[in-house]
Amino acid sequence: MALLYPLLFSLMIHDVSSAGWGVSYSLSHICALKDSSVIMSCTFTYPTGYQIMEVFWTKKADGDDDDDESEYRQRLQYLGDKQQNCTIRLSHVTQKDEQMYYFRFTTNKDGGKWIGKPGVSLTVTDLQVESPKRVTEGHNVSLTCKSSCTLTDRATFIWYRNSQPLTERRDTNKQLLLQSVRREDAGRYSCALHGHTYISPAVHLNVMYLPKSVSVSISPSGEIKEGDSVTLICSSDSNPPAEISWFKGGTFIGSGRIYNISKISSDHSGEYKCKSRNKHGEKYSAVTLNVMYPPRNVSVKIKGDSVTLICSSDSNPPALNFSWFKENQSSAVGSGQSFSALQSGRFYCEAHNQHGSQRSDAVTVTVEGKSVKYFCKMFVRKLW
C-alpha cells in the first residue's frame, strides 16, 4: 500500500474576529477518512504592538488544556508560525477524534489572548460497500463505496475482490459496475482510497446461475457384471445447489445426487438420466449401463427337415463358443452353433462366454432314412 498522504481542504473561509483580533479557518467542517491525516488550515490576526507568546490547538471551547489531550497532541503537528499561519496536521484520525477544534494564542500583555470560535468540526468516516446480496449471472450489478460524510472530490477509489486489487477499477467514481456478471465475479468485495491504508470491510457478492457442467459417473468403473452393486453419481455446478432427479427412459426412478443399484441384473441395462434443476433452469446428463451376464435360456432346434441342430442362447456379450454332446458321452461330439446329427440319439449343446456357460436340455433325434423325428424340452438348467 502506498505511503499516507494528507487530505487537503480549501473550499471556504470561516472568520472569527473582533477589533483586530481574529482567526480565519479555511474550512469550518472537515470529513476525513479513518486512519488518514487531516490538515486544518487557518490564519490569525492581532493588534499591532502585541507579541505572540504561545500558540496551540485545543478541543476545549473555554481554551483550557489538560492531560486528557496528551494522546491527541502526540499525533498533532503544528505547521504554522507565530506570526499569521496556524495550520496543523492531525494524523491517524479515528472516530474518537470527532470534535470541535479551536486555535488559541496568547500575547505578552494582560488580557491579550484569543480563541477562535466556533472552530473546526471534524467528522471521521469509514468506508462501507453497499451491494445486493445476490445477482443472477448475465445481469448487471453496481457496488457503491459509501462514507458517512462527503469526502474531497479528489479522492480516488480502489476496489478489491478477495483481497486482490482490481487495477482496472481505479477512478474518482465511488461505484463499481459489473456488466454481464459471470460466476467468476462472485467473491468478497472491499474498497479503499488511493494513498490510504484503510480498507473497508468486505461484502460478499453471490452470483446465482443455472446448472452447468452436469455429468454422471459410475462406481465402480469398468465392466459391470450381473450381481454387482453399482452406484450412479450426478455432479453439477449451480447456485443455488440443484435438486437431482433420476430417470430410466422416461420413468422417474429416484432423487438425490447418488442412485444405488444392488445386485444388478440384465433388466437394469439401459440409459439413465440425471436432471439437475434449480430456480434458474435445468440440465440433463445421461449414461448407459451395459450389464454383462453368462449364457442362459440355451436351447436346440432343428433346422428345416434336415438333421442340422441349431444352438441358441441369451447372453452378454453374445456367446461365440458352442460345444455339442451326446448323452452318456463325456467328450464333445461337435462344436459351433450348428451341428449335423448323422445318427439317432439325444443331443444337447453348451454355450460359453467369458462370464460362464450353460447347457441346453437334450433333443431326441431319430434317423430313419431321410426322415427325422425330434422332441425338444424347453426347461433350462444353468451351469456355472
Rg (CA), the chain: 46
Query: What's the CATH superfamily of 14-125?
Result: Immunoglobulins (2.60.40.10)
CB 27 within 8 A of CB 10: yes
- Give the integer Cα–Cα distance in Å for 148 and 31: 9
Helix and strand numbers (H, E) in the chain are 1, 36
| Check whether domain 294-383 has CATH 2.60.40.10, yes or no | yes
CB 131 within 8 A of CB 87: no
Residue 384 has pLDDT above 70, yes or no: no
pLDDT band at 276 (very low <50, low <70, confident <90, very high): very high
**Which is more confident, 9 or 311?**
311
CA distances from 146 to 23, 90, 112, 131 (A): 33, 23, 46, 10
Instruction: Write out pLDDT tens, residues 108-157.
Output: 988 888 999 989 999 999 999 999 988 999 999 999 999 999 886 577 88
Q: What is the pTM of this model?
A: 0.66
In this prediction, residues 296-318 reach a mean pLDDT of 86
Residue type at position 347: F
In this prediction, residues 365-372 reach a mean pLDDT of 63
Instruction: Write out pLDDT tens, residues 70-115.
Output: 777 788 899 998 889 999 999 999 999 999 999 999 999 888 889 9
The percent of residues above 90 in pLDDT, for the chain, comes to: 61
Residue 306 has pLDDT above 50, yes or no: yes
Q: What's the confidence (pLDDT) of residue 133?
A: 85
In this prediction, residues 274-286 reach a mean pLDDT of 95
Residue limits of CATH 2.60.40.10 in the chain: 14-125, 128-201, 210-289, 294-383
- Give the integer Cα–Cα distance in Å for 238 and 240: 6
Query: What's the CATH superfamily of 210-289?
Result: Immunoglobulins (2.60.40.10)
Residue 280 has pLDDT above 90, yes or no: yes
Buried b (16+ CB within 10 A) or exposed e, 245-279: bbbbeeeeebeebebebeebebebbeebbbbbbbe
Residue 14 has pLDDT above 60, yes or no: no
Q: Is 198 exposed, middle or buried (0-12, 13-18, 19+ CB in 10 A)?
A: middle
CA distances from 152 to 7, 9, 97 (A): 8, 7, 18
Residue 37 has pLDDT above 80, yes or no: yes
| Check whether domain 128-201 has CATH 3.20.20.70, yes or no | no
**Which is more confident, 48 or 1?**
48
pLDDT band at 52 (very low <50, low <70, confident <90, very high): very high
Residue 365 has pLDDT above 80, yes or no: yes
Question: 10 Å Cβ neighbour count for 318?
Answer: 10
Q: What's the confidence (pLDDT) of residue 3?
A: 26
Q: What's the confidence (pLDDT) of residue 68?
A: 58
Residue 379 has pLDDT above 50, yes or no: no
Lowest-pLDDT choice from 193-207, 352-366, 370-384: 370-384
